[in-house]
Structure 1
């Protein structure tokens, strides 16, 4: 008698819990469905308007859907909330490089290196790439190719809570 349980305050048998938009977005993104992940991330952002990790994930999805200006704007918003958000520095740096803004890209590469640990194996690959790129920007070596690195690194730290 589900109507009786509902009348006396029990469960209706259905899950009355709010949808977990963040988990849904992460699932969609893991399957490569970035356009729908963006929608779910936006809904998650309504629930957590100042969550820099949600903003970072939105920026990654914007990058994956070829919306670099929106990604740049969103990374910057995340960094306003948390200036030490390593993934946002990394993603923003490479988007700025693609745009030709080497001065600001260098600042964000430095920010990424400052906010990650050299002894952390999870960030080693990204730190090495950031160091090579920063050296190239300083004229110390030939410039590396700037493939779609704006999405690397930041995606390794999804916002889950």
Structure 2
């Protein structure tokens, strides 16, 4: 509960500390690794974020949130190819569309518009 509250309030360092406690108790929880990735991405610790998102996806290859967030990190570091790869994965996971798919698709569109403008 503390970890989620810290994330929602934007206290990312606190959230990371709380999430590490949970990971110690539940090391195969993809949601926790996804949240660790998110907190690190918000702090612009992109290498760390990628590590946690990859861990989440190793545990649950169809974790839609992790695919969307890792795709956005790839955009932050200028890797459109990998962002599009994860959008493709979401297209397969969410056959009829889902919020993570549309969120990443919009982020890619904005990225491309900024690159051409």
CA shift at 1:116, angstroms?
2.5
CA deviation after TM superposition for structure 1 residue 143, in Å: 1.5
Which whole-Å deviations, capped at 9, do the CAs of 1:87-129 have from their partners, x for residues lacking one?
1111111111222222222111111222225365xx1xx4334
CA distance in 1, matches of 2:103, 2:9: 26
- How has the CA–CA distance of structure 1 residues 119 and 59 changed in structure 2, closer, same or farther, with 3 Å as cutoff? closer
Unaligned runs of 5+ in 1: 1-22, 137-141, 147-161
Q: 2:19 aligns with which of 41, 63, 68?
A: 41
Partner Cα separation in structure 2 for residue 48 and residue 91 of structure 1: 21
* TM-score after normalising by structure 2: 0.83
Equivalent residue, structure 2, for 1:80: 58
Q: 1:86·1:115 contact (CA, 8 Å) conserved in 2?
A: yes
Larger RCO, structure (CA 8 Å, separation 6 or more): 1
Structure 2: tracts of 5 or more residues without a match: none
Give the number of equivalent residue pairs. Answer: 114
The equivalent residue for 1:93 is 71
The alignment's C-alpha RMSD in Å is: 2.3
Is 2:91–2:97's contact at 8 Å kept on the other side of the alignment? no
Name the CA distance, whole Å, in 2 between partners of 1:52 and 1:129: 20
Does residue 1:114 correspond to 2:69, yes or no? Answer: no
Larger fraction in helix: 2
CA contact 1:75–1:88 (8 Å) conserved in 2: yes
Query: Could you state the TM-score of these two structures normalised by the residue count of structure 1?
Result: 0.63
Q: Which has the larger radius of gyration?
A: 1
**Counterpart contact for 1:113–1:130, Cα < 8 Å:** no
Match of 2:45 among 64, 67, 75: 67
